[in-house]
Amino acid sequence: MSDKDWDLFKQKLHAKSGINLNDYKPAQMQRRIGNMMSRHGANGYLDFFSKLESDKKLYKDFIDFLTINVTEFFRTPEKFDELEKKVIPDLLKQSSRLSIWSAGCSIGAEPYSLAIMLNELTPHTKHRILATDLDVEMLAKAKQGAYTTNELKNIPPARLTKYFKQADGIVTINEDIRSRVEFQRHNLLVDKFESGFDLILCRNVVIYFTEEAKDGLYRRFFAALKPGGVLFVGGTEAILNFRDIGFSHYLPFFYRKPV
């Protein structure tokens, strides 16, 4: 498959989806897309794009595949334990009402986890939780708040009983918690960022981004945080140049903007 076909595929995909594959590591992305092309009998990138154009389900599956929509409530429980016992209490000392952004929220498990946690830490305060994702299908699922038992495996029974209801094999989060999260479509690599956040979570989102794209993203997150605000990243996404960006080290995978 030629470089010309790859370049044309990237252009067509960008025009259709808003996803710019130039911001992703080419070798890893070509390998992943190549595997999917083989499974669907595509004879090259342009043939695969024609299949994406004509098959809505394949296109949806492909976008899900690109944006790595794998998530669960309280993913990496030990880090959420640090968030609940150390990070959020520290932030509440600075501000009684927090502004939080879950970037790349997928099906909503992460922002709803935050809403549950904050409801228990500060039951009489309604914080702002912004949850964004590129994938409109994932956002629609997030707004519904319905989940499988596997996505809920890290939730203790007491919280399951308190915050969820089950009917006909579907587990749904209660309306009060759902109302605490504001969902928006947002492309991290293109769209403008809001500012004034106390906490930003961007976990398991940038794994296939180029180093240049990641660096630019983390600098924009830094600018979007309040002084004293915290960025929380995924377990394989340590920011090696955090000091160059301006962050101070706070806890493993938590970086703080100095006051």
Q: How many domains does the chain have?
A: 2
Residues 61 and 88 in one domain: no
Per-residue pLDDT of the chain (259 residues; tens, 9 = 90+): 578 899 999 999 988 887 888 888 888 889 889 988 999 999 899 999 999 999 988 988 888 777 665 678 988 889 999 999 999 999 999 999 999 999 999 999 999 999 999 999 999 999 999 999 988 888 999 999 999 877 888 898 899 999 999 887 789 999 999 999 999 999 999 999 999 999 999 998 888 789 999 999 999 999 999 999 999 998 888 999 999 999 999 999 999 999 9
Amino acid at 250: Y
Residues 202 and 173 in one domain: yes
The whole-model pTM stands at 0.81
Q: Is residue 174 part of a domain?
A: yes
Residues 134 and 57 in one domain: no
Let me know: does 138 contact 186? Beta carbons within 8 Å.
Answer: no
Residues 147 and 32 in one domain: no
Residues 20 and 144 in one domain: no
Q: Which domain holds residue 57?
A: 3-67
Q: Is residue 118 part of a domain?
A: yes
Residues 184 and 242 in one domain: yes
Let me know: does 105 contact 142? Beta carbons within 8 Å.
Answer: yes
CA dihedral 223, 225, 228, 230 (to 10 degrees): -110
Give the CA count within 13 Å in the CB-facing half-sphere of 101: 25
Q: Is residue 72 part of a domain?
A: no
